[in-house]
Structure 1
């Protein structure tokens, strides 16, 4: 019978986002737009200020402009990642710029960014970027019974679907290394898996899938940083299903 599980974590909070950009117009737009989308936003007009805030606060998402007077996005992220005591040392990060070709985007992803934002951007672009914030497995429940019941109808149906879902996760876990060698095949499997997540209330895994899909949309063929995070979420979801 579907009921509360140990994997069901507290409800999510509005994503807390740090935006660093030396262009006042861009900084104002990004701050206002993210606020409209429900995020709480902190602003920094240069890399030094951004680093200080990232050290002091735990942000769910970092958005760094690629060209600031005192540093670039890669340098800022590299420095932050090497400060384990910084509260946002492991937060998902996005690089933003008005000029980014495909090669530059791939280089930024390889340097450690989880996504890329090309300016000028739209609310739709920012809404997609925000999925990186809610992909944090510590913010979303592994199994959300309320979501599963609202989608699938009854506890009996949810239980049956979760049994099938578990077997699907086992198969993907076994095949993930091979799947990751072909972006097209992997994206197709992720698309199907995300639908299954919705029926079964696998909120955390769905968030990790969204993060990985962002990389695939950018045609990143190198080491996909969210892949291991996705694998970990997949296995945690399997463990939660086994206990439910």
Structure 2
């Protein structure tokens, strides 16, 4: 990913060690990171700079995550008015998780967090690297063995995707079942060379396990990849 196409993240946390850890981890995964040390600085920075995503600590001096996001969503002129937002907290009881998701956060990350969980959450909502092809014939041929088998498997995948598209909203109410369906889908994608959808299914699985639900932003992103794959098959 080039410097011009790197996704821009704002990381806001009042703990210096946490800020530096998150900045280093995310930069290592190809993101451009800007840091803020409290809620007021986060809000001012997000108003003047367009970020793809915001990572906001729930308890910061001069405004917590909900206050910052609410102010941005009310201000249509803010550069990051519509940015994807993830919340972080050292403690995430069920009541706080529900409050954050209702406030518009696309996910909630409990600290200390695993880098993989954070990267999955970002990819599930922002989308995976554009370098992944929708269909990779070389990968498909390696898995299937010959063109005729690959095409037959792709027709089976197409039928599966049509059914999954219609069932997705219902599956979203049963996270455990959706994770299982995504597991099976990843296998099917691997045999067909449907690499983008397979990668999106993988990060979606991780995000659901972390958030314990299929949040709307991640569901919409996955549906978009599903429809793109259907069009390409």
Separation in 2, partners of 1:124, 1:18:
18
Q: Secondary structure at the match of 1:71?
A: coil
Post-superposition offset of 1:73:
0.7
2:222 to 202, 209, 230: 230
Q: Secondary structure at the match of 2:87?
A: strand
2:61 to 62, 69, 72: 69
Q: Deviations over 1:195-243 (max 9, x none)?
A: 333443341574266246513543338x6443234333322321232xx
1:107 to 99, 111, 122: 99
Higher RCO structure (Cα 8 Å, ≥6 apart): 1
Post-superposition offset of 1:17:
1.9
CA RMSD in angstroms, aligned pairs only: 3.3
Match of 1:196 in 2: 188
Q: Deviations over 1:59-107 (max 9, x none)?
A: 3332101011121111212222334444433333211111212332233
Match of 2:84 in 1: 92
2:35 to 40, 43, 46: 43
* TM-score of the aligned structures, taking structure 2 as reference length: 0.78
Separation in 1, partners of 2:120, 2:166:
29
8 A Cα contact 2:84 2:126, kept in partner: no
Separation in 2, partners of 1:13, 1:158:
33
5+ residue gaps, structure 1: 1-9
1:213-224 equivalences under 5 Å are: 213-220=206-213, 224=216
1:22 to 8, 14, 19: 14
Q: Number of matched residues?
A: 229
1:111-190 equivalences under 5 Å are: 111-132=103-124, 135=127, 139=130, 143-145=134-136, 148-149=139-140, 152=143, 156=147, 157-190=149-182
Pair 1:186–1:123, CA change in 2 (3 A): closer
Match of 1:3 in 2: none
Pair 1:169–1:84, CA change in 2 (3 A): farther
Match of 1:239 in 2: 231
Post-superposition offset of 1:25:
2.1
When structure 1 is superposed on structure 2, of 51-60 and 96-105 the one drifting more is 51-60
Q: Deviations over 1:27-79 (max 9, x none)?
A: 12211222233322111112233233334444333210101112111121222
* TM-score of the aligned structures, taking structure 1 as reference length: 0.75
8 A Cα contact 2:109 2:210, kept in partner: no
5+ residue gaps, structure 2: none
Separation in 2, partners of 1:14, 1:80:
23
Post-superposition offset of 1:146:
6.6
